[in-house]
Amino acid sequence: MFIGKKDVNKAELLALMEQVKSKPLPQHVAIIMDGNGRWATKRGLPRVAGHRQGVEALREVIKTSDELGIKYLTLYAFSTENWKRPATEVDALMSLLVEYLRKEIQELNSNNVKISVLGHVEAFPPIAQREIANAVEITKNNTGLNVNIALNYGGRAEIVRAAKAIARDVLDKKISLDDIDERLFSRYLYTAGIPDPDLLIRTSGEFRLSNFLLYQIAYTELVFTDSDVLWPDFDKRAYLEAIMEYQRRQRRYGGLIADEGTV
C-alpha cells in the first residue's frame, strides 16, 4: 500500500489521531528518511537544504511518536555507504547533526526522550562524537520515547561485528558454542535490549532496505510511501496514515490466524 499526499486540516488530523490511538500501536517504528536530495533539487535548491528541511520532518515525527506513546523510534540518519557522497555533503550532514543536537537536546530531555545511537560513531569528527555522547549522557535516565539514531550504521557491518564479539567471547571462554542462539545473538547487536521494529517506513517510493536493521526486521511490517512523499514532505498526516496501514495488516509470524480454515 502506498501513502499518498493530500491536504488535511486540523480537525481531520485530530480525528486521524484518535482513530490511530483506538487500535494497537506499533511499539517500535523504524524509518528510512529518504528523498531529501530530490526534495531540494525539485526546488532548485542545494541538497543540503533538503537535509535541513528533513530535520523539520524529523522533529514532527518525534513529537507525534511521543503524543501517541510509541516506545521506540529508530531513524536511519547516516549509513556506512553515505561516506561515498561528496565531502561537502558529508560535512553538511555532520554540521546539521551537531546543530540539531545542540538546539534540541534540552527540549528532548524535558520531554523525557532518551537518545541512543546505533553504529560506529567513532569514525565521526570529534565535535560530532562529543555532541552525540553529550546527548546520550544527558538523556540516559529518561523513561519516555526512546529515539535511536543510526549513524555510520550498516546492517551487515552490525552482524559481522556481533559475530566477531561472540567469537571473542567463546575464545575467552565467557560463553560456550552451545550458548549461541537467536536471543544471545541479538544481545550482541547495537539494538541489544530493544524489541524488533513492528513497522518500518521508507519515504520517497524506493523499495529497498538499504542495509538497515537486516537482522531485526525479519517480521517487521514494511510501509513505503508514494514517490511524491519525499522525507521533508512526510508530515503528521503521512505518519498517521502509515501507522493506519500497519494497523490494517495481520501479523502472523509464519503461523496462521484463527479463521484460515482447517488442515
Residues labelled catalytic: 34, 82
Which of 127/184 has CB closer to ligand FPP? Answer: 127
Per CB under 6 A, does 149 bind ligand FPP?
A: yes
Neighbours of 190 (CB within 10 A): 21
Which of 34/235 has CB closer to ligand FPP? Answer: 34
Per-residue mark of binding to ligand FPP, 167-196 (x: CB under 6 A): ------------------------------
Minimum distance, C-beta of residue 110 to ligand FPP, in the bound complex (Å): 19
Per CB under 6 A, does 77 bind ligand FPP?
A: yes
Q: What residue has cell string 537482522?
A: 215
Residue with the shortest CB distance to ligand FPP? 37
Which of 78/188 has CB closer to ligand FPP? Answer: 78
Residue 250, CB half-sphere, CA atoms under 13 Å: how many? 8
Judge residue 239's burial from the number of C-beta atoms within 10 Å of its C-beta, 0-12 exposed, 13-18 middle, 19 or more buried: buried
Per-residue mark of binding to ligand FPP, 35-74 (x: CB under 6 A): xxxx------------x--xx--x----------------
Of 115, 157, 112, which Cα lies nearest the Cα of 132? 115
Hey, what's the cell of 26? 506499533
Amino acid sitting at position 229: V
CA distance 214 to 192: 14
CA distance 228 to 207: 14
Which of 77/166 has CB closer to ligand FPP? Answer: 77
Would you say how long the chain is, in residues?
A: 263
Per CB under 6 A, does 116 bind ligand FPP?
A: no
Minimum distance, C-beta of residue 76 to ligand FPP, in the bound complex (Å): 7
DSSP states along 80-128: GGGGGS-HHHHHHHHHHHHHHHHHHHHHHHHTT-EEEEES-GGGS-HHH
Which of 25/108 has CB closer to ligand FPP? Answer: 108
Per CB under 6 A, does 25 bind ligand FPP?
A: no
Minimum distance, C-beta of residue 35 to ligand FPP, in the bound complex (Å): 4
# binding residues, ligand FPP (CB under 6 A): 18
Neighbours of 55 (CB within 10 A): 20
Per CB under 6 A, does 97 bind ligand FPP?
A: yes
Output the CA torsion sign for 148, 130, 232, 157: negative
Minimum distance, C-beta of residue 38 to ligand FPP, in the bound complex (Å): 3
Per CB under 6 A, does 113 bind ligand FPP?
A: no
Structural contact between residues 33 and 60, judged by C-beta atoms closer than 8 angstroms: no
Per CB under 6 A, does 158 bind ligand FPP?
A: no
Interface residues toward ligand FPP, by CB under 6 A: 33-38, 51, 54-55, 58, 77, 82, 93, 96-97, 100, 149, 231
